[in-house]
Chain A
Amino acid sequence: MSGNDDITHLEEELPLQELPLDAWHRAMGARMVGFAGYHMPIQYEGIMAEHTWTREHAGLFDVSHMGQLTFSGEGVDEALEILLPSDIKGLKPFRQRYSMLLDEEGGILDDLMVSRMGGNAFEGAAIYMVVNGATKYDDIGWMIEHLPDEVVMNHMDEQALLALQGPEAGEALAGLIPETADLLFMQSGLFTWRSVPLWISRSGYTGEDGFEISISAEDVTLLADALCELPQVKPIGLGARDSLRLEAGLPLYGHDLTPAVSAIGADLGFAIQKRRREEGGFIGHARVLKELADGPGSRRVGLKIEGRLPAREGAPIYAGAAKVGEVTSGGFAPTVGAPIAMGWVSLPHSALDTALEIEVRGKRIAASVASMPFVPHRYRRKA
Chain B
Amino acid sequence: MSRYFTDEHEWIDVEGEIATVGITDYAQEQLGDIVFVELPAEGTTFEKGDDAAVVESVKAASDVYAPISGEVVETNGALEDEPALVNSDAEEDGWFFKLRVTDASELEGLMNDAAYKKFVASL
Contacts and interface: CB of A to CB of B under 8 A. Distances in A.
A7 interface: yes
B23 A332 contact: no
Given A309-B38, A310-B56, A2 B62 contact: yes
B115 interface: no
Interface stretch (A42-50, A93-101, A203-211): A42-50
Contacts of A339: 35-36
Contacts of A51: 58
Most chain A CB neighbours (cut-off 10 Å) among B36, B61, B63: B61
Given A310-B36, A332-B36, A4 B58 contact: no
Contact of A3 (B33, B35, B58, B60): B60
Nearest to A240: B58
- Per DSSP, are chain A's interface residues mostly helix, strand or loop, or mixed? mixed
Contacts, number: 72
Interface in B17-65: 23, 27, 30-33, 35-36, 38, 54-65
Contacts of A312: 60-61
B71 interface: no
B104 to A, nearest CB: 23
A14 interface: no
Given A1-B8, A2-B8, A4-B62, A43 B32 contact: yes
A34 interface: no
A29 B24 CA distance: 21
Interface string A206-238: 000000000000000000000000000000000
B121 to A, nearest CB: 17
Given A1-B62, A3-B62, A47 B32 contact: yes
B60 A332 contact: no
Contacts of B27: 1
Interface string B68-97: 000000000000000100000000000000
B9 interface: yes
A110 B56 CA distance: 30
A239 interface: yes
Interface residues of B, number: 25
Contacts of A239: 32, 58-59
A321 to B, nearest CB: 24
Given A1-B9, A1-B27, A5-B59, A308 B35 contact: yes
Contacts of A242: 59
Given A1-B8, A2-B8, A42 B59 contact: yes
Most chain A CB neighbours (cut-off 10 Å) among B58, B59, B61, B83: B59
B37 to A, nearest CB: 9
Interface string A32-56: 0000000000110011110100000
A13 interface: no
A53 to B, nearest CB: 13
Given A46-B32, A46-B33, A2 B63 contact: yes
Contacts of A6: 59-60
A361 B38 contact: yes
A33 B59 CA distance: 13
A328 interface: no
A107 interface: no
A197 interface: no
Contact of A310 (B10, B23, B30, B35): B35
Contacts of B83: 308
A1 B8 CA distance: 5
A201 interface: no
Contacts of B9: 1
B48 to A, nearest CB: 15
Given A5-B60, A334-B58, 7 more contacts: A2-B62, A3-B62, A49-B33, A239-B32, A308-B35, A308-B36, A339-B35
21 contacts: A1-B9, A1-B10, A1-B55, A1-B63, A1-B64, A3-B60, A3-B62, A4-B60, A4-B62, A5-B60, A6-B59, A42-B59, A47-B33, A48-B58, A243-B58, A308-B35, A310-B35, A310-B56, A312-B60, A332-B56, A334-B33
The 8 closest A-B pairs by CB, nearest first: A332-B35, A48-B33, A47-B58, A3-B62, A5-B60, A308-B36, A239-B59, A1-B62
